[in-house]
């Protein structure tokens, strides 16, 4: 029992670091502010699903805005059971973290015969993911880490007990429901299965992966949206066009250089594979694990995004961490001398330094990112709630503004607007098409980053004010502009009047310049 108490205490200590951050933000602003506007998109979808029966960021219609179909459903389910509201993503992610720790301890006890390896797993994954950041941001990435780790642990057991394939099938289905990037894991796994001539299992796993994607795609098409979620179409990083294909290798190299933590782990894994080849070791399972992780990482680097609040590649970092520590355990059995073990451990620690630096950086930057979201997106939502709550509004950051209001949305990015994304895909997203669309929707005001949309703003839109924040690291730009979508003097003067009244309630270090 004592061994489990030790693991539990360590788990609680690590999560206490996260809790202190959450409490500090909560005390500062009166409620917790997420460091990402995207979290409020999940909250808005869940809220509208439960209260209005609509899968969308507003109550006014279906929008295919999330690439994680299961996460808003989980938030909605807890919304029904509790009145925790905005804190539900934090509760869910804390629960996922405890489950992750529990399964890691069980795995180390059953497969490595020593609970101390479970402690090493907990410390390693907490830092390299980094786990605290993925609790703070309230997104689905911690659930993605949990199920990815369960997939790897089940794969390890599957290599000696074929009956464990059923667990792989379950985790595969869940992975596809959590994040579409999970298909990279499944492709890598299928390659290994095909190489080992387990054709039926490879194709069955692929079919299981495709099933939830197809189901969601059909529902989306029935509701007038595209087959894939808009976030995949807009945020995917696959090359488009001949010039992009030509520059593709350089882009991959650039992304690797901008993600030193991932580059270090990929390099270490490749070195391990070379070491296995040179020494003619027969650790077939370890070779397969490193191949699975590295192929997954390379596909993610090639076709998906990295970085931005320590989340997109966090599942790969967790998979690598599990693989490296498991490999270390097996190498310790082959090299029992203390000096050999010290060298092997030191190599792993050395290659983990970029991840450690990333973890420290996350503790320093996330509080400021929460403040940035509070000073910009939350203030925008308060303004809309007070003066334009049921009006047609044009935005480019939609999360908080949709969650805290009942607006009718025109989304300039296209994440929650099928008309805008069609204009973008058809390459007719311009001043004329935007003016026509917003006129038809009777849009009253726009709150957007002028720097990002200067060439697309209709001439009839009148800039009225600019809201500026300080020390910005969490928002796309320091300032956001309020525009009247009509040049009618009555509409412009009303917007000015509303902004003058609202300016009295702004935080002291947030500046509103009325033109």
Same domain, 167 and 246: yes
CB atoms within 10 A of CB 427: 7
Determine, yes or no, domain membership for 124: yes
The overall longest dimension of the chain from CA atoms, in Å, is 83
Let me know: does 260 contact 354? Beta carbons within 8 Å: yes
Same domain, 170 and 258: yes
Total domain count, the chain: 2
Instruction: Provide the mean pLDDT of the chain.
Output: 91
pLDDT, one tens digit per residue, over 146-204 is: 999 999 999 999 999 999 999 999 999 999 999 999 999 999 999 999 999 999 999 99
Same domain, 319 and 390: no
Phi and psi for 402 in degrees, rounded to 5? -85, -35
Confidence of residue 249 (pLDDT cuts 50, 70, 90): confident
Same domain, 336 and 465: no
Determine, yes or no, domain membership for 359: no
Question: Looking at 319, 351, 383, which one is the last position of a domain?
Answer: 351
Same domain, 69 and 197: yes
Same domain, 314 and 206: yes
pLDDT value at residue 305: 86
- In whole angstroms, what is the distance from residue 20 CA to residue 157 CA? 37
Q: Quick one: which of 447, 439, 435 has its CA closest to 387?
A: 447
pLDDT, one tens digit per residue, over 24-35 is: 777 778 889 999
User: What is the domain range of residue 462?
Assistant: 368-514
More confident residue, 105 or 21: 105
pLDDT, one tens digit per residue, over 335-394 is: 899 999 999 999 999 999 999 999 999 888 988 999 999 999 999 999 999 999 999 999
Same domain, 316 and 388: no
pLDDT of residue 2 exceeding 60, the answer is no
Q: What is the mean pLDDT of residues 475-495?
A: 94
Three-state secondary structure call for residue 443: strand
Same domain, 424 and 341: no
Determine, yes or no, domain membership for 50: no
Same domain, 199 and 96: yes
pLDDT value at residue 3: 58
pLDDT, one tens digit per residue, over 117-135 is: 988 999 999 999 999 899 9
Confidence of residue 315 (pLDDT cuts 50, 70, 90): very high
Determine, yes or no, domain membership for 202: yes
Q: Which residues pair with 410 in a beta bridge?
A: 394
pLDDT value at residue 116: 83
More confident residue, 278 or 373: 373
More confident residue, 514 or 243: 514
Q: What is the mean pLDDT of residues 209-225?
A: 96
Same domain, 409 and 383: yes
Confidence of residue 17 (pLDDT cuts 50, 70, 90): low
pLDDT value at residue 81: 93
């Amino acid at each position: 029992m004592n061994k489990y108490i030790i693991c539990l205490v360590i788990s609680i200590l690590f999560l206490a670091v996260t809790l202190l951050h959450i409490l500090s933000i909560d005390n500062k602003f009166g409620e917790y502010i997420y460091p990402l506007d995207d979290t409020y998109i999940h909250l808005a979808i869940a809220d509208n699903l439960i209260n209005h029966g609509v899968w969308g960021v507003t109550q006014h219609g279906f929008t295919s805005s999330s690439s994680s179909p299961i996460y808003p459903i989980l938030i909605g389910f807890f919304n029904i059971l509790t009145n925790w509201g905005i804190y539900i993503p934090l509760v869910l992610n804390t629960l996922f973290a405890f489950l992750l720790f529990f399964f890691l301890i069980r795995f180390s006890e059953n497969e490595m015969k020593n609970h101390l390896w479970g402690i090493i797993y907990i410390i390693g994954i907490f830092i390299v993911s980094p786990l605290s950041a993925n609790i703070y941001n309230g997104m689905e990435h911690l659930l993605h880490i949990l199920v990815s780790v369960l997939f790897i642990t089940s794969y390890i057991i599957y290599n000696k007990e074929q009956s464990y394939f059923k667990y792989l099938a379950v985790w595969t289905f869940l992975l596809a429901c959590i994040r579409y990037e999970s298909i990279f894991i499944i492709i890598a796994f299928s390659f290994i299965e095909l190489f080992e001539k387990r054709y039926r299992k490879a194709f069955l796993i692929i079919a299981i992966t495709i099933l939830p994607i197809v189901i969601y795609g059909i529902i989306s098409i029935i509701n007038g949206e595209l087959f894939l979620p808009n976030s995949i179409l807009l945020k995917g990083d696959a090359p488009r066009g001949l010039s992009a294909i030509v520059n593709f290798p350089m882009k991959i190299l650039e992304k690797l250089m901008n993600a030193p933590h991932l580059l270090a782990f990929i390099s270490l894994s490749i070195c391990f594979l070379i070491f296995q080849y040179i020494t003619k070791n027969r650790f077939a399972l370890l070779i397969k694990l490193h191949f699975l992780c590295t192929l997954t990482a390379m596909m993610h680097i090639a076709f998906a995004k990295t970085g931005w609040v320590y989340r997109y590649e966090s599942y790969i970092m967790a998979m690598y961490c599990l693989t490296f520590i498991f490999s270390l355990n097996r190498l310790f059995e082959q090299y029992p001398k203390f000096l050999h073990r010290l060298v092997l451990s030191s190599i792993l620690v050395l290659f983990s330094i970029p991840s450690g630096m990333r973890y420290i950086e996350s503790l320093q930057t996330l509080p400021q990112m929460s403040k940035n979201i509070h000073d910009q997106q939350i203030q925008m939502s308060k303004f809309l709630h007070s003066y334009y709550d049921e009006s047609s509004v044009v935005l480019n950051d939609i999360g908080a503004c949709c969650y805290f209001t009942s607006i009718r949305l025109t989304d300039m990015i296209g994440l929650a607007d099928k008309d805008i994304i069609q204009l973008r895909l058809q390459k007719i997203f311009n001043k004329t098409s935007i003016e026509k669309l917003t006129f038809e929707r009777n849009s009253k005001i726009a709150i957007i980053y002028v720097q990002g949309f200067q060439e697309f703003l209709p001439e009839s839109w009148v800039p009225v004010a600019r809201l500026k924040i300080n020390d910005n690291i969490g928002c796309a730009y320091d300032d956001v502009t309020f525009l009247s979508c009509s040049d009618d003097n009555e509409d412009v003067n009303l917007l000015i009047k509303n902004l003058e009244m609202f300016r009295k309630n702004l935080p002291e270090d947030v500046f509103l310049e009325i033109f």
